[in-house]
A and B are shown apart, each in its own frame.
Chain A
Amino acid sequence: MSAASDLLTARIAAEHASALPDLPTSVIGRDRRLQAIGAFSARGLPINRQENWRYANLHTLHHARFTPAQPQATLEPSALPGEIEGYARYIFVDGRFAPELSHHSPHPALTIFTTGTEDTAQHIAAEQELADNRLALLNEAFATDGARIVAADTAHPTCIEVVFVATAAAQGGASYPRLQVTTQAGTRLGFIERHISLGSEANFINAVVNIEVGRGATVDHYRLQQTGAEATWMDTLSARVATDGTYRLHLANLGGQSARSTQQISLAGERASTVLNTVSVAGRLQVHDVFAVIEHAAAATQSEQRFRGVAAQQARVGFNGKVVVRTDAHGAVSRQSLRGLLAGPQAEVDVRPQLEIYTDEVQCSHGATAGKLDENMLFYLLSRGMEPEMAQLLLKWAFLEDVVAKIDLPALRGQVEHALAGQMDDTAALRELL
């Protein structure tokens, strides 16, 4: 560990000691909070020299206060992104539930645990044996409110949207989004999770999401990271998929100054499957980094991982996709298609596929590329009379659309496409495509 990160780890422990009396024990008990901060302190903050943190921007953490923030602004509902039909929306502001902004009636599948309500949930800073749960431990130690979704209706899909809004400055305090999702056997869940910023403060967000996909259940999880230009967004997601269950994750990583997502998906039961689709678009000095581990722990499990990342200006985009096939996972099928695009001479793209196989009879394929726009494609478009700027934009768009088109909620896909076009600085030129 470096001296600077040791100091920061110590400062976080001190902040926790003074914040502890005010942290709601009904959300997480005092003992669990102490255990979490103890486990975190023993291991320390991640640093870039550690293998799976090489691409992340961890510097912004040094300017952050880890004590939970007090919500600053009052929000106008009109400032929030458009709702998606059929999805009941619930809103958290700086890690605290905002009932006045949320869907008027409680959803039968949703429990909000907040000050004064009992948290019967288990430990949700899931053990990430393969990835890394250190930041999740910090969430456990400091969390304010949280939500639990339990899909139990086998007759109809459960459709819920949770929006986490950050308003506070990082120097003033952090926000700790916290979600536990459980789907019972044979259920279907559609779940939209957004992270946005309102106002111009440099927020610090440290989220934890834990998902249990039951036997034969299906989860479609749509995650949009659209935090502010100065925000630091840290995220730990873990999912466990039971026999015949399916977990599909769509992540659009757009915002933030520093955005890091650590994901571990365990295919625990036979024929469990997962699809991870990630798009990441970064410009300016943004750093986007995803470390995603898929574990095939049972026979005939299937995984597909797709990544498309574009880095412009001085931005850095990293994707580290690891697949581990355990000894019992006979007949596992795993496919990885990871592609990065450099859209500026000072940009950086790091795409890294990793495969560890401990059994025979598996089909694993992976393709990883990082490069510039295809010269042949570019010339083809120019030879048809297209302006060079437009041709480049169109090819960047097509590169992303390959994965974005897989978002099967048309209204949400439209929102993601508009956000991507905005991020690419040329909404007008792309208007015909939207």
Chain B
Amino acid sequence: MNTLLNIDNLHVAVGDKKVLNGLTLQVPAGEVHAIMGPNGSGKSTLAHVLAGRPGYEITAGTVSYQGTDLLALAPEERARAGLFLGFQYPVEIPGVNNVYLLKAAVNAARKQHGLPEVDAFDFLTLVKEKMQLMQIDESFLSRGVNEGFSGGEKKRNEILQMLILEPKLAVLDETDSGLDIDALKIVANGVNSLRAPERSFVLVTHYQRLLDYIVPDRVHVLVRGRIARSGDRELALELERRGYDWISQEAA
């Protein structure tokens, strides 16, 4: 089995608070893994730590990505190595154009791999094609990053960025939160269009609903900073019926 992401005994603290307490997880290439769990269980912390957000202290454990030490890389190096974080709350950046950011992101990765910059015309054609898939309005092209977007538009924009960057590992942090059912289908459709044998997804989600549309290979339940139970998609359905309490009690 070709493991793309290997998290071993990861301990993470924010200030004095221990948030992850010995998390261990392997994600093989080509698989979709869902991370579920009650509020405050450490799901978003895991997503942020993988992307390299400052403010988290790694107190023990290792994270290996494509066989290299992920934690030794700066956030921008992780991105160029093919890791993508879909934000739960994408930030608005007025004055930085959407397309400019996309192009800068693509060119940063290409430069890393010794490739020339993308052709501006071809790139715009690609962006427009993917925008259609994500049902994003043309006016997007001239606007600032997420500027004035609704919650749903911001999430669709995250997936649009993912479609254009074609990462090896996509970590999507509660991409389903705040979406109505139509937007959820559009987002799921975008994710599914990118599923491939060499690409993996980590879906952080609170609800089972997303997994009706993006069928995961594995489901993990995070409780108090470690994985309390793993299973296939049946586990997600069971959580839907029974809630999280029984697993929390088991874990205790």
Interface size class of B (residues with CB under 8 A): 20 to 34
Cβ A386 vs Cβ B108 within 8 A: yes
B96 cross-chain contacts in A, Cβ below 8 A: 381, 394-395, 397-398
Interface string of B91-122 (1 = CB under 8 A from A): 10111100011001100110010000000000
Closest Cβ of chain B to A397, distance in Å, is 7
Report how far A205 CA is from B65 CA in the complex, Å: 61
Q: Is A387 an interface residue (CB 8 A)?
A: yes
Contact assessment for A382 and B75 in the assembled complex, using a CB-CB cutoff below 8 Å: yes
| Residues of chain A within 8 A of B109, CB atoms compared | 385
Is there contact, CB below 8 Å, between B91 and A385?
no
B54 touches A384 (CB 8 A): no
Cα distance A395–B109 in the bound complex, in angstroms: 20
B76 within 8 A of A: yes
Q: Is B152 an interface residue (CB 8 A)?
A: no
> Are B53 and A384 touching (Cβ within 8 A)?
no
Among B52, B76, B84, point to the contact of A386 (Cβ < 8 A).
B76
Let me know if B93 and A398 touch, CB within 8 A: yes
Chain A, interface size category, equals 20 to 34
**For chains A and B in complex, what number of residue pairs have CB atoms within 8 angstroms?**
76
Which one of B51, B94, B100, B112 contacts A432 once the chains associate, using CB atoms below 8 Å? B100
Taking the closest CB of chain B, its distance from the CB of A291, in whole angstroms, is: 27
CB under 8 Å from chain A, chain B span 62-94: 74-76, 78-80, 84-85, 87, 90-91, 93-94
- B76, A380: Cβ atoms under 8 Å? no
For residue B161, CB closer than 8 A to chain A, the reply is: yes
Q: Nearest Cβ in chain B — how far from A371, in angstroms?
A: 16
Residues of A within 8 A of B51 (CB): 383
A376, A385, A401: which contacts B95 (Cβ < 8 A)? A401
Within 8 A of B (CB), among A91-139: none
Residue B144 is within 8 A (CB to CB) of chain A in the complex? yes
- B79 close to A398 (CB less than 8 A): no
Q: Report the minimum CB–CB distance from A391 to chain B (whole Å).
A: 8
CB distance from B104 to the nearest CB of A (A): 6
**Does A433 touch B at the CB level, under 8 Å?**
yes
CA distance A399 to B52 in the complex (A): 25
User: Counting CB contacts under 8 A, is A375 at the interface?
Assistant: yes
Report how far A433 CA is from B100 CA in the complex, Å: 8
- A90 and B111 alpha carbons, distance in the complex (Å): 48
Give min CB distance, B160 to chain A, whole Å: 12
Q: Is residue A374 contacting chain B, with contact meaning CB distance below 8 A? A: yes
Chain A residues with CB under 8 Å of B144's CB are 398
Seed contacts A399-B95, A433-B100; 6 additional CB < 8 Å A-B pairs: A375-B54, A377-B91, A383-B53, A384-B104, A385-B76, A398-B96
Task: List the interface of chain A (C-beta within 8 A of B).
Answer: 374-377, 379-388, 390-391, 394-395, 397-402, 405, 432-433
